[in-house]
Amino acid sequence: MERVFLYGTLKKGQPNHGLISNSISGRAEFEGLGRTADPYPLVIGSKNNIPFLLNVPGKGHHVTGEIYSVDDQMLQFLDDFEGCPDTYQRTPVRIEILEWEGKSSAPEERPAVNSIMECFVYSTTNYPPEWINLPYHDNYDSLGEHGLRYNPRENR
């Protein structure tokens, strides 16, 4: 199993969450909440209002998201879905634990709150340069005050 940190449309309550709660694509187990140990710019870009973590550590905010353990089948599914490595690249990022729920590990193996864990994150270096000037978010919600509602793939 691999750990993945999700900050966008795959989180609970967001438009693509059904894809990871769907066991047809493999296994994904919710482990807890975290935030990036370094700040990153999280912007909403393209005409479809898609969240992108720009791979520019040190700029922007500590970004909040959800940590999952996924099997190889789910990891492959996510890579395909995210257009990895063209649109997003999956890279290890240091994540600070905010809350741990993971039930599969023994209590003494559970990471402590505020400890740091490496997780895969879908971020990008392949973005139009002007996106660095877009507003930065710290906790993505497709229905947030920004008003930039995500346009699901089936509508494009």
Q: Single out the residue of 32, 34, 41, 51 in contact with ligand PCA (rule: CB under 6 A).
A: 51
Annotated catalytic, 82? yes
Residue closer to ligand PCA, measured from CB, 5 or 108:
5
> How many other CB atoms are there within 10 angstroms of residue 6's CB atom?
25
Does 9 interact with ligand PCA (rule: CB under 6 A)?
Answer: yes
Does 41 interact with ligand PCA (rule: CB under 6 A)?
Answer: no
Does 34 interact with ligand PCA (rule: CB under 6 A)?
Answer: no
Q: Give CA–CA dist 122/87, Å, rounded.
A: 9
Token pair, residue 119, equals: 């997780």
Residue closer to ligand PCA, measured from CB, 11 or 35:
11
Residue closer to ligand PCA, measured from CB, 41 or 51:
51
Active centre residues (catalytic): 82
Using CB under 6 A, list all residues that contact ligand PCA: 6-11, 51, 82, 122
